[in-house]
Amino acid sequence: MTIVVPGGASGAASSATLKSLTASVAKWLNRTDLDPVLADFVRLAEAEFARDTRLRSSFQVALVDGYAAAGEVALPSDLLELKELTMAGRVLRELPYDDWRNVRGGDFFARVGEVVHITGKPEGAYTITYLQKLPELAFATDSNWLLREHFDMYLWKCCEIGSVYLRDAEAAVGYGTKYEAAAQQLLQAVNQHAWGGAPLAVLAPGVV
């Protein structure tokens, strides 16, 4: 199947909202009867973005300060990955819950559901550094950083999912290939930004 580029797609990218995204998906799939399921395509795409480890290095890092009572800390609702937890200037180390139960002292914590439990049940100020989940697109005017900066990734993934829904295997493969290329380009750009100016050095085994 040949994928035809519909006119006006670049204009949709410039506005970058849920409304413009779903309109572009419908145009690319060349269908006018997908309104009831377009939101599902977006939800499914966002679920895949969260699992795609190549994208995690580009997700936004956030800091949250709070006060722990009795050594318990509620994790942020938009937490995708916990990077660091500090308390009283000390970095706490996470342990599996069964191991943590047998520890009587030290700077450790374990997670039970969405709550962190700190060894010794201390009280005090804490800071959480974490990777944020991608803000979901729920309303027509909603946008987020990935949609604004990488509109094509949303478009290709939604069209891939839409093609699966339409049982068009060839189109699904084509859009999937486009998404994979865009994801790889994003990863390369992030790596270039992070490491592009750093000189290469070869270290002997054991040298840190």
CATH number at residue 83: 2.60.40
* Domain end call among 92, 113, 132: 132
Tally the C-alpha atoms within 13 A of residue 38's C-alpha that lie toward its C-beta: 24
* Domain match, 65 and 102 both: yes
Residue 129 confidence class, pLDDT cut points 50, 70, 90: very high
What is d(CA 24, CA 159) in angstroms, rounded to the nearest whole number? 9
Q: What is the pLDDT of residues 28-50, one digit of tens each?
A: 999 999 999 999 999 999 999 98
Q: What is the pLDDT of residues 49-94, one digit of tens each?
A: 988 888 887 888 999 999 998 999 999 999 999 999 999 889 999 9
| Predicted pLDDT at 15 | 80
Residue 203 confidence class, pLDDT cut points 50, 70, 90: very low
* Domain match, 85 and 127 both: yes
pTM (2 d.p.)? 0.74
* Domain match, 35 and 53 both: yes
* Residue 195 pLDDT greater than 80, yes or no: no
Domain containing 52 equals 9-57+135-193
Q: With beta carbons less than 8 A apart as the criterion, state whether 172 and 39 touch.
A: no
Please state the separation of Cα 35 from the chain's center in Å: 26
| Predicted pLDDT at 65 | 95
| Predicted pLDDT at 8 | 40
Residues 6+ apart with CB under 8 A from 134: 46, 49, 50, 59, 80, 144, 145, 146
In this predicted structure, which of 3-7, 110-114, 137-141 has the lowest mean pLDDT? 3-7
* Domain end call among 112, 132, 152: 132
Q: What is the pLDDT of residues 18-30, one digit of tens each?
A: 999 999 999 999 9
Q: What are phi and psi of 174, to 5 degrees?
A: -60, -45
* Residue 202 pLDDT greater than 70, yes or no: no
> How many domains are there within the chain?
2
* Residue 3 pLDDT greater than 70, yes or no: no
* Domain match, 34 and 66 both: no
* Residue 204 pLDDT greater than 80, yes or no: no
| Predicted pLDDT at 2 | 33
Q: With beta carbons less than 8 A apart as the criterion, state whether 61 and 49 touch.
A: no
- What number of helices (H) and strands (E) belong to the chain? 7, 8
Mean pLDDT of all residues belonging to the chain: 87
Percentage, residues of the chain above pLDDT 70? 85
What is d(CA 84, CA 61) in angstroms, rounded to the nearest whole number? 11
* Domain match, 139 and 128 both: no
